[in-house]
Structure 1
Amino acid sequence: MKIRTLIVDDEPHAMEIIRKYATQIPEIEIVGTCGNAIEAFQTIQHNNIDLVFLDIKMPRLLGTDLVRSLKRPPMIIFTTAYQEYAIEGFDLNAIDYLLKPIPLKRFLQAIDKVMHFLDGDDKKQEVGESSNPQVTQTAHHFIYLRVDRRLVKVNTDDILWIESLKDYIKVTTKGKVFYTKQKISVMEKLLPMGEFLRIHRSFIIPLNKVEGYNPNHVLIAETKIPIGRNYKQICADKFDPRDGFSCPQEGAII
């Protein structure tokens, strides 16, 4: 299995480092390099590309804007020397983010994520077998949280609720709790549209995790999440069983 790979970077030295690392991986086939996002767009349109190492800060068009312009983007590993630019790619389902200068160990970790993605338990497929090699990736939506000076990738399907704590937010998932310095209003924009709802100035919840509803709170994982005064009508319209909402547990009005 060959992973057809494109390297996009306006810095020749950075591009050469990635090429040097990639030649040590038998599964990686470098099919081209591009010095800007416009050239990369044309290359992706006219070639079968499985993976792109994509710099974010480039002249004329950012790497993140390139991904947004693609209807069916390949697997993306962002590369950047600026951590603040990585934040812009939170909603783009990238496989990984590599911060320059890129150590070989970190590069190999990113490739390992690619391999795990391609060998996913649910939907295995050979690269190039489908006109959309990213089909399994787009089945999930991820956000990246800055935790202890590193980016942590979180599947939004694992989120139980998000709570604002002054300058921080607390993201509670099925298995872990993450604290990151972020405004809840910013986080709200990064979540997949139609799947989450803000029910309080300090709380956002995933709609598919709601087990019960009361005018004052919703129940998720046996935890009562309060409904703010200004959000009561929105929640009533969404969750009132008399208006078509059905909870997965019997006796859902709590």
Structure 2
Amino acid sequence: MNIQTLLVDDEPLAIAEFQSMLAKYADIEIIGTAENAAIALEKIETLQPQLLFLDIHMPGKSGFDLLEELDYSPLVIFVTAYDEYAIKAFEVNALDYLLKPINSKRLEEAIEKIRKQLSLEPVKSPKVPIDKRIFIKDGEACFFVPLSEVFLIENVGNYARFYYQKNKPLLHKSLNYLETKLPEEHFFRASRQHIININFIRNIYPTFNHSLEVELQNGAIIPISQRQSVKFKELMGL
């Protein structure tokens, strides 16, 4: 299976060199390139690549700004000349962080991570009914989690933290995967970091940039990304 890939970098020479390095990987199919976040946003929404090689420093919006605007969330590997953003990169669930000039061995390791991740995440899967319980083994503790009582799911690296009652176990699954499994009439992808159960919303607040924040019944304030705010308003009839 080919991995449909988009390259985003404001330096044409960097893109050309990267294309040359990726040519040895038969399963990496480059379906497009973009020189800035605005072009990348349009191509991601249209082409829906599985994998994004993303520069951080670009004219206008940064790579991090781009990710905040996405509805569709591909797997991400950052490619940058700067090492100080590594922690932030993994906080937004990037699978890897490659420094320029790209080391061929590190690139190979990153490709293997992508292959492994995609093998764990089927494109389509049946939804889990809201009245079911899901089993989570977190360390030595085991939880049978009533899905209807989960009010928030939070991205924690390669894990997802489920909040229900006073519990918050970790499940070794990505939010992208969980989004394919959860019933959309109850769960909404607020951002790359959060999925919320709309049945637990207490209040909705507008913010200065036309985005929204929701207050859950436990008092937690969850921001909704600008693009997802548009979808949320349609969903809630706002």
> Which TM-score applies when normalising by structure 1?
0.50
Give 3-state SS (helix, strand or coil) of 1:125's partner.
Answer: coil
> Which TM-score applies when normalising by structure 2?
0.53
Partner in structure 1 of residue 20 of structure 2: 20
Question: Percent sequence identity over matched residues?
Answer: 41
- What is the one-letter code of the residue matched to 1:16? A
Q: Number of paired residues?
A: 143
Structure 1 residue 91 displacement after superposition: 1.9
Given that 2:56 and 2:64 are in contact with CA atoms closer than 8 Å, whether structure 1 keeps it comes out as yes
The higher-RCO structure (CA 8 Å, 6+ apart) is 2
- Equivalents in 1 of 2:48, 2:57: separation in Å? 24
Give 3-state SS (helix, strand or coil) of 1:88's partner.
Answer: helix
Partner in structure 2 of residue 74 of structure 1: 74
Matched, 1:59 2:59: yes
- Equivalents in 1 of 2:56, 2:63: separation in Å? 4
Partner in structure 2 of residue 141 of structure 1: 156
Given that 2:76 and 2:96 are in contact with CA atoms closer than 8 Å, whether structure 1 keeps it comes out as yes
Partner in structure 1 of residue 214 of structure 2: none
Partner in structure 2 of residue 116 of structure 1: 116
Q: Quote the RMSD (CA, aligned, Å).
A: 2.9
- Equivalents in 1 of 2:78, 2:38: separation in Å? 16
Matched, 1:49 2:46: no
Larger radius of gyration: 1
Moved more, 87-96 or 64-73: 87-96
Give the unaligned 5+ runs of structure 1. Answer: 131-137, 143-154, 158-191, 198-205, 210-236, 238-254
- What is the one-letter code of the residue matched to 2:122? Q
- Equivalents in 2 of 1:13, 1:5: separation in Å? 18
Given that 1:82 and 1:99 are in contact with CA atoms closer than 8 Å, whether structure 2 keeps it comes out as yes
TM-superposition CA deviations, 1:169-216 (whole Å, max 9, x none): xxxxxxxxxxxxxxxxxxxxxxx7969x9xxxxxxxx9448xxxxxxx
Given that 1:9 and 1:55 are in contact with CA atoms closer than 8 Å, whether structure 2 keeps it comes out as yes
Given that 1:57 and 1:85 are in contact with CA atoms closer than 8 Å, whether structure 2 keeps it comes out as no
Partner in structure 2 of residue 151 of structure 1: none
Partner in structure 2 of residue 105 of structure 1: 105
Partner in structure 2 of residue 89 of structure 1: 89
- Dislocated runs of 4+, deviation >6 Å: 192-195
- Equivalents in 2 of 1:193, 1:35: separation in Å? 37
TM-superposition CA deviations, 1:79-118 (whole Å, max 9, x none): 1111113333232111111011101111111000001111
TM-superposition CA deviations, 1:133-158 (whole Å, max 9, x none): xxxxx99631xxxxxxxxxxxx456x
Give the unaligned 5+ runs of structure 2. Answer: 126-152, 171-217, 219-238
Matched, 1:125 2:140: no
Structure 1 residue 47 displacement after superposition: 1.2
